[in-house]
Structure 1
Amino acid sequence: MKNTSRFADIEAARTAVNLALPFIEKTLERPGVSARKVLHVVVLDPAATCDCSNFEEALLYEHSVGDRHNWDADYAAFARDKARLSWRHQMGSRHLIHMEPHRLSLSDTLLWGSVWLDGIVVAASGAMPAWDEAFSLCVAGNLRAIALERSTGMPIAKSQGD
């Protein structure tokens, strides 16, 4: 049986991505961030672990930004590969690739841009690696806040516009 998160479900993941979209879309327009102005984001189920789930079962939510006709590579596959790396090693792909490369197998990607935040794995691909990581971190932070909010039954904070 597949493990699924009680508080970080598909709706929470969708909301986490949607909250990050204004930042992502505006940043993709900046020169040097993404040549194609596209991005693919992958969010894994925080309750799905390597010992109890396969990677496909761990996939919780995916979202593409920008026109997929502008893709010059399979950014969805790249994002999934980055997510798989962080999920398996329980760390961000930048740290793994640059600080612990001895842990990489021949089939592992050498692309980075995924994060592992308190068990939440998010990966992005389509921008420069530092921006893929920043977008991933934003979505992961949003998902963590949503899960915490749900677990307490109370909003963490409200903006003045609410």
Structure 2
Amino acid sequence: MPNFTQTLCVITRTQLTSEFIHRITEILNKFNVDYVVTGGTSKIIRGEDYLTFDLDIVVENSNDNLNRVNKFVHQITSEKIDLTDNFKSNRITRINTFPFSIDIMPRLDGLENINIFKNSELVEFEGRKIPCISESDLMKNYKSFKT
């Protein structure tokens, strides 16, 4: 049985994670970014107990959307980051926002972006609908880099 301190840490961690998810998705929506939450955060949004320190998103790779993503990035960090080169090279962009980070991905292993967005699901999380990768696509992605 967890002691009081362990329980308090879990509660605090859960609150921080929830607030972070809401804050980041609110800003993504403000700039009309086409995105899908993936990875461990998509599990948390679905109500699973999962510990993660980052929010992984796949973004649609059009020039218009990349411009909107760049506006999002400039809203949340003072770092000079331009996603265009990373996306052309299929590289992940990591933004550190203590105590979490955001990984912005141009693609996921084992999946085509068109299918990620077509199969995505709007999942209700604490009163808000958040676009998440489908559970079957998440499993395909996990299997692609674990084999």
Short-chain TM bin = under 0.3
The structure whose residues are more often strand, as a share, is 2
Higher relative contact order (Cα pairs below 8 Å, separated by 6+ residues): 1
